[in-house]
Structure 1
Amino acid sequence: MKKIIITKKNKLEEEINSGAMIRLAGVSEGLSNAKNIHMAIASIPKDRCSTTHYHTNCESAIYVLSGEGLFLHGENLEIEESISEGDFIFVPDGAMHQPVNTGDLELKLIVARNTPIEIVEEVPDLGRKDC
């Protein structure tokens, strides 16, 4: 029989941070023996952002749980789109992006990926540096 795993909020797995973005996994290879999926909550403090980055081996689906911000993307991050509670974002593999918190509260994102272990490439020369 296949085993269902429930990860309690006090048992989340801290991941490598990206800039000011902190990620806590609830479904991962280590926590749940997941083979084809990963799910985490990412938090970005007010006036802060992640580093510019892309994922080489996975697609990402992001849900804005709370807060407001900008989602920078495009070949040179030339596209800035507003994001807020209730928005969904699809990020294909290889697409550069940088979430930025522009609101008064913490920006919280639920992030799901189609692989348990992501490969992240940071692009420090692009994107916002003031956050």
Structure 2
Amino acid sequence: MTCNKAMSEKLRETAEDGGGILCVRSPETDRGWNGIRYKTGISAKNVGSRRLSMNVAIVPPGAVAYAHSHIDFEVMLYILEGQVRHEYGIGLEKVIDNKAGDFIFIKPGVPHEVINLSDTDPVVAVVARSDASEWENIVDYPSKRRPAQQE
């Protein structure tokens, strides 16, 4: 069994199917990607969604989610806790800082890097994507902190 297949089976077990409405209750933080921890949310892997995914992201104090872009899908975030900086655009030359209570919309293909501005407090955000596969359509982008990985 491959790691991805095992993860998909584990995720399917998190969803309660009420016959048309599915529920993931009190998810634990159990997955990591690019410096961010994620609570198990909802996606194609556990509820069978076709166009959407959503979860809660936790960016640890002082952490960076290295530069990347989303291929052909939109992302919306709502910051629950903390302060975060997005360096974005070609060359990551633009900067926007956000805090708890802010909504953020990231258009498809916009390169961005996420930086937790606090050395003591995490950033906690609800993340919704117009892609049910979550991470399969994300590509690295060069930044001053880490060059894009070459495969």
Which of residues 63, 81, 90 is equivalent to 2:105? Answer: 90
Counterpart residue type for residue 77 of structure 1: L
What corresponds to 1:102 in structure 2? 117
Calculate the aligned-residue CA RMSD, in Å: 1.9
Which of residues 115, 126, 133 is equivalent to 1:117? Answer: 133
The structure richer in helix per residue is: 2
Q: For this pair of structures, how many residues does the alignment match?
A: 126
Distance, in Å, in 2 between the alignment partners of 1:34 and 1:12 is: 21
What are the residue-to-residue correspondences of 1:1-131 with 2, within 5 Å? Answer: 3-10=20-27, 14=31, 17-18=33-34, 20-103=35-118, 104-118=120-134, 119-123=137-141, 125-129=142-146
Deviation at 1:99, TM superposition (A): 1.2
Distance, in Å, in 2 between the alignment partners of 1:10 and 1:107 is: 17
Rg: which structure is higher?
2
Identity, in percent, stands at 22
Moved over 6 A (4+): none
TM-score by length of 2: 0.75
Gaps of 5+ in 1: none
Distance, in Å, in 2 between the alignment partners of 1:84 and 1:49 is: 16
